């Protein structure tokens, strides 16, 4: 038996390494792989709908062009979000936040749902209020964790929806993240794995969920340090490696 909690395996944009990222297919694949959590990104369409996509533009992952903020939900739904990954997934749509939430509820998911507010480049005025209103209307049976690179988004949403958990994303700005943690403005820290390895003497003082942990060496590093979690494009690989190193199974899964 462990004296420490097993490291949570958080699927980055779903099973991004094996399915078109941030699609219902990717999230279902992550759940099927036994991931403890899902990490994804939320933005606002031109008609103020909460949509799931990482980039501010649709160009990289779909057959369309332009900024999400300039396209309506109907226009976004007409785009093909699967073919760029593989022709096998042609016709896959960009999901809304509600579609993802309903998928998780239907799967009886009780793990971690980490929703990143993509407000560090485009601030999306009102997105925090819309998220708070949505989750007030829609209770969820899983742990809800909001994260962002933009501190103001975290602080605004935390005031509106204090019952969720909050985490600070960062690539190099460790001081700001640590200050927010000391002030109890966030509970968790989500640093770049490269930053973590460069600041290893800081590790005993924080609960970390590094991103994006894809190599076996990086996964092993996180698992042997018993980090709170790791965020990966390959949840199936990470789950298998965790079993080998730590044992245990995802707690939300029904036996």
51-86 b/e (C-beta count within 10 Å ≥ 16 → b): bbbbbbbbeebbebebebeebebebbbebbbbbbbe
- 158-165 CB contacts, 8 Å cutoff, 24+ apart: 158/185, 160/128, 160/129, 160/132, 161/131, 161/132, 161/135, 161/136, 164/135
Whether 199 sits among the annotated catalytic residues: the reply is no
Task: Kindly name the residue from 54, 123, 225, 226 that is annotated as catalytic.
Answer: 54
Is 12 in the active site?
yes
What backbone phi and psi angles, to 5 degrees, belong to 57?
Answer: -110, 155
CA-based radius of gyration for the chain: 17
Residues belonging to the active site? 12, 54
């Amino acid at each position: 038996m462990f004296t420490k909690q097993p490291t949570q395996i958080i699927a980055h944009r779903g099973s991004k390494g094996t399915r078109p990222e941030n699609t219902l297919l990717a999230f279902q694949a992550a759940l099927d792989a036994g991931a403890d959590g899902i990490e994804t990104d939320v933005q606002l369409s031109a008609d103020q709908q909460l949509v799931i996509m990482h980039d501010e533009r649709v160009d990289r992952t779909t057959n369309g062009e332009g900024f999400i903020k300039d396209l309506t939900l109907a226009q976004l739904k007409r785009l093909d979000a699967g073919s760029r990954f593989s022709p096998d997934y042609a016709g896959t749509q960009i999901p809304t936040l509600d579609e993802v939430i309903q998928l998780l509820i239907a799967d009886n998911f009780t793990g971690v749902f980490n929703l990143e507010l993509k407000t560090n480049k485009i601030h999306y005025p009102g997105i925090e209020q819309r998220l708070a209103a949505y989750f007030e209307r829609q209770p969820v049976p899983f742990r809800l964790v909001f994260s962002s690179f933009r501190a103001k988004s975290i602080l605004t949403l935390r005031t509106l929806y204090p019952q969720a958990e909050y985490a600070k994303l960062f690539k190099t700005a460790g001081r700001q993240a640590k200050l927010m943690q000391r002030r109890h403005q966030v509970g968790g820290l989500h640093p770049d794995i490269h930053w973590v390895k460069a600041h290893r003497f800081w590790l005993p003082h924080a609960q970390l969920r590094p991103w994006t942990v894809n190599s076996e060496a990086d996964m092993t590093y996180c698992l042997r340090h018993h980090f709170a979690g790791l965020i990966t494009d390959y949840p199936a690989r990470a789950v298998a490696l965790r079993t080998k190193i730590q044992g245990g199974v995802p707690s939300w899964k029904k036996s």
